Structure 1
Amino acid sequence: MENQALGLAEAVQRLFPSDITVKRIRWRAAFDKLPSAMKTSWMLDLSSDPTEPAAGEAWPDLWIATGRATLPISARVRAASGGRTFVVQTQDPRWRNAAYDLIVAPAHDPVEGPNVLSITGSPHRVTPDRLAEGSATFADQLAALPHPRVAALIGGRSRAFDLTDAHAADLADRIARAVEATDGSLMLTFSRRTPGTAKAAMMERLARLPGLIWDGAGANPYFAFLDQADHVLVTEDSANMAAEAASTGKPVHILPMIPLKPADKFARLHADLHAHGAARPFDGTLEAWTYAPLDETARAARTVLERMKRA
């Protein structure tokens, strides 16, 4: 979630010279589950960064925050700063929506209002420069891989989806057949939510393919994989990875998961990505297509600066 706030801040910085300071908010365990309205700054964990300027320092021009933990602070910043700070909250706050100058919310979340900007997916840090930088770090490991290069981004268990061992094995077999049919190569990475046994099942079945499998040790090749891929396969449980993949202009194939409950918001996101021309359900083949890279983070940054001028 930090990447949402930081990605939007960096996009603003690319349009307007700015200094970025990262503040990480954590509540003490005894107060973390309290309703946002009941939380005050003395309840913050000692590891949290100060959220108000030190004596003699000015409030920031722009405050960008993400996640439930930040809501009580964000809702009070405008008043505490005397209107000096323009407050942006990403995602749907679902609490005191009028307290923020701008809410940058995923279009798949049904939030509306005069201070709401709906975008496809969420803000992120994927840019051509960052992809190229990440690719350079792994050039020795990726340069010789045959094309088409397939990046497989595997999520895991969540409230809406599951990745059982059997389903992981089936996905691995389908991916392997598609890569082998094209004499291509595989670049495979997992999320923190991927169950260990599911990860092991996939690695065992896919290890024979030419490519690189990241097991979580060492530098993260995520940006390099996106840069070098000819196709990107993303499990349907991750809205962030799907939107980030769509920002590359590469074909995005959505891998099915085991549904645990209705996941309408994910269906809406995938429909939006399909309408943009970016994503299609994975059908076992590696058909190529083209589209204009999704650039919603930049659109959000432009809107932030436009709203700040009018504030």
Structure 2
Amino acid sequence: MKLIRALLSCCAAGAVAFAALGASAARADDLSFGIISTDSSAVLKQRWQPFIDDLNRQTGLHVNAFFATDYSGIIEAMRFNKVQIGYFGNASAMEAVDRSNGEVFAKVLYANGDTGYKSVLITNVNSRVKTLDDVFKNPKDLTLGWGDPNSTSGSLVPGYYLFAQRNLPVNATTFKTVLPSSHEANLLAVVNNKVDIATNNTMELATLARKHPDRFKEVRVLWTSPLIPSDPLVMRKDLPEATKQKLRDFFYHYAKTDPREKKIMADITGYAGFAPSSDEQLLPIRQIALFQQKQKIAADTHLSDDDRKSQIAAIDAKIGALNAPAKP
């Protein structure tokens, strides 16, 4: 009898250990997919959930969508391993790579064949602002809808190509009001004539034109940036290699032929699928960010001449390293 009890006890212990192992294995396949807050969480969930469902079904992974109220929420979530995969803009992807143990592994493709998108400055068609010159005549009289600090098209690119080139920093002293918000909120603010001008991008405008052509007619584009590389996908470097390969296989082949998958991608933001990529696509964004840092240091009156020269020299060295040809 004692022997039977001992055997039963061993079996029970083994069952518990096996169950724990199984639970551990299941947890190893549990991932969170962070999606930057270009729109409200409800809108993003509606766009992305069919894609997430396909990702789970085709890979056997258990992936949940993770939405935050701002870009930094996704970056920090990846930093603390609460998010393992992320859809980012280029500026936020740079932060995820530098601060959150991430690596770029894919980029989106567009249905219209474009290899990227553009930042825009927009206003309402009935606004007193008719041209770009009107913006710079008296910016202190204007309310600016600005992007998230980590947004490529909402802040980094217009901050550099539009405002820095005219020596106009974006802050509460140069404009009547600066209102940082999402692309969706800024677009609605312009449509409803709640702000004088706002940053946005050509993807959001295309979505608005497709879904709400009447509202699109209320938008006037004042400025368009150079081409921005298409949005990258980032994964944590420390994911198991088998998991990484499942993700690569899924993203690289998704929506290539299946009409249903193509529709899901088109409904997200006019996408057509994904292509392989790497951290190298962030190079032009790094150059812009460093140049902006250099401008801020040059204009900082609190620094001594020696400190200013030293900091500028350090940034010039970083820019030089980025511009140096890759070693064979």
**What TM-score do the two structures reach when normalised by structure 2?**
0.26
Structure having the larger proportion of residues in helix? 2
Greater C-alpha Rg: 2
User: What's the TM-score once normalised by structure 1's chain length?
Assistant: 0.27
